[in-house]
Structure 1
Amino acid sequence: MALRFAGKHAAVVGATGVIGSHIAAAFARHGASVTLLGRSALTQRARLEAQLAAPALAPALAPADSTTTTSSSSSSPPRAHHFIKLDVSDAASIKAVFAGRAEQSAAAATTAAAVVGPVDVLVNCAGISQTTVLKRTPDEELARIIDTNLLATMLVCCIVNVSSLMATHGGFGASAYAASKAGLIDLKPELQQAFLKDTPLGRVADPDEVADAAVFLASNQFANNCILNLDGGLSAA
């Protein structure tokens, strides 16, 4: 079976967390070269590499830098995976890593390969929560949650953004978290207007594209009561 993302580059922001690391591993299994970004991307590299080495792939022996490679067979070229330390609450670091600016902040300059480069898929999965009611949450903690969950995504911009059920249903003791995740949902129509003229694909769906969605809905046990809008962006026009 052909790998869906062979020859593609996927960047996952927040790749050191449970969900983010699994997303990165999934793209690697489908043939993508993955850039994993997060506060502990370098210190957690051994664990992340183990996840990137899918069952069909042999673990790679990588040099002590920010890159490793995997290969699905002896005949296929190795895929390079990159690890970049990134604090998404630091706006300067985000801009340096994704814009490739020469004037990198101290946080972004901690690795030699601290520039993401062109990407085919970008996943914003960085997020932190809270466990205290609003009136007992320090101002600094509120700012850290908003900066991490909402501002970072706005600065990176989006292809896939990971929100939360609390964005629409709320949750006791998670006011800032719920508000930041709701902001991600409300960010969508703003971006929709900004990229309106480029959004609709201008063609009908390929049968395989519909089939892929059907397989996903049938195989993902957690996708209950789930509606996938397969319209090539027409509903956003």
Structure 2
Amino acid sequence: MNTVCSPRITHSIGVRHARVPQHPIPLLYTDIRPQRISIRPTGRSNQSKASYSSNSRPSIKKERGRLYGRTALITGGSSGIGYAIAERFLAEGASRIVLVGRRREKLQDASKRLSESIIKRINQFGHVNGEIATRAPEEDVSERTTSSGQDVDILVGDISVASEWMTDLEKAMIDVDILINAAGISISNILPRTSPDHISGMLKTNLEGAIYTSRAMLKSCMRARSREKNRKLNDTEQSHQKISKSIINISSLLALKGVTGTVTYAASKAGILGLTRSMAVEAADILKVSNVMLRCNAILPGYIDTPMIQDFSVDKVNELRAQIPLNRFGDPREVADAAVFLSTNGYANNCVLNLDGGLSAV
């Protein structure tokens, strides 16, 4: 279906984007043609009919978290590892999260769940690292007001065809401090039985999409000198002359460990490691005379406990767990822990973190 809608705000125009968790668990990929649509980012406005009422919020004691004031754009952020990272970043005080995905309804549901997660934390602990503010999709972005709250925006776009909406992607990347490349697809099949469409789809989503988002991030950094003059810096940044931004690529254990039936997927994730290394060097070279530095790191998850493993039989799950020295799957929140570390450690560059319970040692 290729229905074209008249855009009301240009920076959130995009084509639909795949929502897939990042781990070496087999999953089917459906080839869906891109569809250009226009949606409004979620958020809060004083002059419109917001779905969120400040009068219903409990009292909040504002505290600065490790990601206070930061903005993160997360591809594949509506579920799995991407969603866990978004939730953890908000808990760490991030002021704005942009979730990128193909399906609008999934993104809206993720935005709602993130809002509920923050409010639950407020009710439980009596404080949170900032406030969360949500806006109804129909609100006019021109009516947005500046606040100390936390925003969850959504950008509908298919990262596998990011080259077709690069202008919109580059606009969305303005003021982004942390890029998380978590979108990807996985197909379990031996190479002779893997269709050309599946091969192309995996390479475009897992590798080419990450290249295009990284390109947009680097271009944004190159243009950031004038934009950063009046930026509010956190305590860590105030002690440095340069603004520290970062890209975190979600690769996979299969980039390093051979497993039958994962040839194309493994190749795409190995390519992510090459992207990480090259970006770490190239960004430093290009931005050396700028007031911005861009670091690039990667996380290599092993088997992560996501809804996708519900499709596995009990015997299959037990077989996989038995291969892992820790005898369990990882939790998406443990991957989010690593993402926070890589986002806040200013000396982490070309850092590759294995999170596989020791499976890579077997």
User: Paired residue for 2:251?
Assistant: 163
Instruction: Tell me, yes or no, if structure 1 residue 46 matches structure 2 residue 109.
Output: yes
Distance in 2, Cα, partners of 1:232 & 1:61:
34
Q: CA deviation at 1:8?
A: 1.5
Q: CA deviation at 1:182?
A: 0.4
List per-residue Cα deviations over 1:169-226 (Å, max 9, x = no partner): 0221111111000001122232233134457xxxxxxxxxxxxxxxxxxxx9968xx9
The question of whether the paired residues in 2 share the 8 Å contact of 1:142 and 1:176 is answered with yes
Identity fraction in percent: 26
Distance in 2, Cα, partners of 1:80 & 1:137:
41
Q: 1:177 aligns with which of 265, 273, 287?
A: 265
The question of whether the paired residues in 1 share the 8 Å contact of 2:134 and 2:152 is answered with no
The question of whether the paired residues in 2 share the 8 Å contact of 1:163 and 1:185 is answered with yes
Instruction: Tell me, yes or no, if structure 1 residue 140 matches structure 2 residue 194.
Output: no
Instruction: Tell me, yes or no, if structure 1 residue 63 matches structure 2 residue 136.
Output: yes
Distance in 1, Cα, partners of 2:102 & 2:196:
22
Q: Which has the larger radius of gyration?
A: 2
Distance in 2, Cα, partners of 1:11 & 1:67:
21
Consecutive unaligned residues in structure 2, runs of 5 or more: 1-62, 124-131, 142-146, 215-245, 289-331, 352-362
User: Paired residue for 2:210?
Assistant: 153
SS of the equivalent of 2:274 reads: helix
Sort the Cα spacing of 1:44 and 1:122 in 2 relative to 1 into closer, same or farther, 3 A.
closer
Distance in 1, Cα, partners of 2:69 & 2:270:
34
Sort the Cα spacing of 1:4 and 1:180 in 2 relative to 1 into closer, same or farther, 3 A.
same
Q: 1:123 aligns with which of 180, 185, 190?
A: 180
User: Paired residue for 1:95?
Assistant: 166
Q: 1:26 aligns with which of 56, 80, 88?
A: 88
The question of whether the paired residues in 2 share the 8 Å contact of 1:166 and 1:181 is answered with yes
Higher strand share: 2
Q: 2:278 aligns with which of 182, 190, 193?
A: 190
The question of whether the paired residues in 1 share the 8 Å contact of 2:249 and 2:276 is answered with no
Q: CA deviation at 1:136?
A: 0.4
Report the TM-score when normalising by structure 2: 0.47
The question of whether the paired residues in 2 share the 8 Å contact of 1:42 and 1:83 is answered with no
Report the TM-score when normalising by structure 1: 0.69
The question of whether the paired residues in 2 share the 8 Å contact of 1:123 and 1:159 is answered with yes
Distance in 2, Cα, partners of 1:156 & 1:174:
24
Q: CA deviation at 1:117?
A: 2.6
User: Paired residue for 1:106?
Assistant: none
SS of the equivalent of 2:121 reads: coil
Distance in 1, Cα, partners of 2:279 & 2:72:
21
User: Paired residue for 2:355?
Assistant: none
Q: Following superposition, which runs of at least 4 residues in structure 1 exceed 6 angstroms of deviation? A: 228-231
The question of whether the paired residues in 1 share the 8 Å contact of 2:111 and 2:153 is answered with no
Sort the Cα spacing of 1:21 and 1:131 in 2 relative to 1 into closer, same or farther, 3 A.
same
Sort the Cα spacing of 1:117 and 1:195 in 2 relative to 1 into closer, same or farther, 3 A.
closer
Q: Which has the higher contact order (CA 8 A, sep 6+)?
A: 2
Consecutive unaligned residues in structure 1, runs of 5 or more: 69-75, 101-114, 200-219
Which one-letter code corresponds to 1:92 in the other structure?
Answer: S
Which one-letter code corresponds to 2:121 in the other structure?
Answer: A
Q: CA deviation at 1:93?
A: 4.2
Sort the Cα spacing of 1:167 and 1:66 in 2 relative to 1 into closer, same or farther, 3 A.
farther
The question of whether the paired residues in 1 share the 8 Å contact of 2:134 and 2:151 is answered with no
Distance in 2, Cα, partners of 1:221 & 1:36:
17
SS of the equivalent of 1:159 reads: strand
SS of the equivalent of 1:90 reads: helix
